[in-house]
Amino acid sequence: MESSPLKSPVRWLTALLATSCLLPTAHAQYYKISTPDEIRNSARGLAYDLMLQYKGNQSGEIPGILPGPPTEHKGDYYWWEGGAMMGTYIDYWFLTGDTSYNHVVTEGMLHQTGDDFDYMPLNHTASLGNDDQGFWGMSAMLAAENVFPDPPDDKPQWLALAQAVFQTQAAPDRHDDTCGGGLRWQVPPLNAGYNYKNTIANGCFFNLGARLARYTENQTYADWAVKTWDWLWEVNYIDHKEYAVYDGGHVEHNCTDVNKARFSYNAALLLHGCAFMYNYTDGSALWKDRVDKLLAGIARDFFSKGAAFELPCEDRKGACSADMLSFKGYVHRWLSVVTKIAPHTADTILPMLRKSAEAAVSQCTGGETGRRCGFYWSSGQFVDPSVDKTTGAGEAMSVLAAVSSLLIDEAHPPATNRSRGTSRGDVNAGSRSRGAVTPLEPITTGDRAGAAIITMLILGGGLATWSYMSLGD
């Protein structure tokens, strides 16, 4: 008599393998990233799935934004994350050559400029932080650097939009004497968090200044970048020994009550800006030192588990906000660009990003399609975004960024006015903002931007009912 299959290890294993072929493939890895062609194919699928989270290209919906804000029970996402998503697709096009979403990006980026073309739309006053405006400005700057197709001549241009954001943020009204200077988190005084001066608001301003300096060769932008870095250093938002980057402090405590939460995008944004300053200054030893030390801190704090890891919240499932779930993507995008403008970093950064991207795609095994992506990359296991009470746009955006950024070796460095750049600046960018206009120190060097830094009146009114992260009183 033949042995029972359960008593025959060989037959039992054969039967198990045969049966497994008939099971659904939901837990098989869908995305492959071993070759450039595989990366492009995977990025194409990820870009498609992310766009399913976006409603702005549908009839009756608002271009440029993800569903939200949560304070109005419209969705999980605040205004700024739409701008971050536009930037993700600008990089996706630049790295893969896929033009499928360019019209969506152009429509969204132009729709959200506001009446004065400075990314301060009135209907988002209640969530208008300097960082929110800064993210839209950085996406406009990215469009100029990546030579993304220019808008029609009768529309605001990418470089002009970036200048407008920078120039409104350089206004005296945005820089008071509390804490020795620096931008507040929020723009309208009645918004919750107006009493907080944080790294991300000042980091966006620093980053834009560094990039505008390199693009236009205008020293005024660089001077502002230096001033902003010095302020962040002086208030100890950057640890002087370990180069850990902290979150912020309150003006009523002279910013000495430093919230030492370490968010990955704060550190990566500063590294990105430092790399642009290093490039702009022709390899300054000072900026190289800052690049190298920030990079070492990022590797230590956010990649020690073999993949990008959000230190303050990832150990506790459901502890990360919808905002925080998108940070890994910015880290991948910004670090990849650092390798192009500070090439000595490539040997450190590229293997780190490759390993992280491999972990990211390994857990994209969820949903009915078997390719939905979660947030917890280092575990290698898909965790449904519903655990974090989000729809998953941040998770999808991060994996798309991680995968598409693997093509950075094939890409041009960011363009400038002298090299490949086509975007036009505007001498009056930022001057049409609501309120009185008070000129700042004029730009004197000749460049296509031709801008004079001009001010605006801080927006009034609009009681904020939202909170980005717990700040205390």
- The tens digit of pLDDT for each residue in 461-470 reads 332 323 333 3
At 25 the pLDDT is 41
Measured CA to CA in angstroms, residue 404 lies from 47, 338, 355, 461 at distances of 10, 15, 14, 41
With a cut of 70, list the residues of the chain below it in pLDDT.
Answer: 1-27, 433-473
Contacts of 75 (CB under 8 A, 6+ apart): 66, 67, 68, 69, 391
How many whole angstroms separate alpha carbon 285 and alpha carbon 295? Answer: 15
* pLDDT score, position 29: 86
Say which residues have a Cβ less than 8 Å from residue 423's Cβ, sequence separation at least 6: 143, 144, 147, 150, 157, 158, 159, 160
User: If 0-12 CB within 10 Å is exposed, 13-18 middle and 19+ buried, where does residue 192 land?
Assistant: middle
Is the Cβ–Cβ distance between 29 and 364 less than 8 Å?
yes
Rounded-to-integer distance, Cα 335 and Cα 346, Å: 9
Q: Which residue type is seen at 351?
A: P
At CB < 8 A and 24+ separation, what contacts does 234-240 make? 234/180, 235/179, 235/180, 235/182, 235/197, 237/198, 237/199, 237/202, 238/270, 239/297
**Could you read off the pLDDT of 30-51 as tens digits, one per residue?**
999 999 999 999 999 999 999 9
The backbone torsions φ and ψ at residue 366, rounded to the nearest 5 degrees and listed phi first, read: -100, 180
DSSP letter, residue 122: G
Q: In the prediction, which pLDDT does 27 show?
A: 56
- Is pTM beyond 0.85? Reply is yes
Q: Which ranges of 405-457 would DSSP assign to H, the alpha helix?
A: none
pLDDT at 431: 80
Neighbouring-strand partners of residue 248: 198, 259
Distance of alpha carbon 399 from alpha carbon 328, whole angstroms: 8
DSSP secondary structure letter of residue 333: H
pLDDT of residue 439: 42
> Pairing state of beta strands 196-198 and 248-250?
antiparallel
Task: Supply the pLDDT for residue 427.
Answer: 72
Backbone dihedral region for residue 306 (phi beyond 0: left; psi -120 to 50: alpha; all else: beta): left
Helices (H), 97-198: 102-111, 130-145, 158-169
pLDDT at residue 9, as a whole number: 42
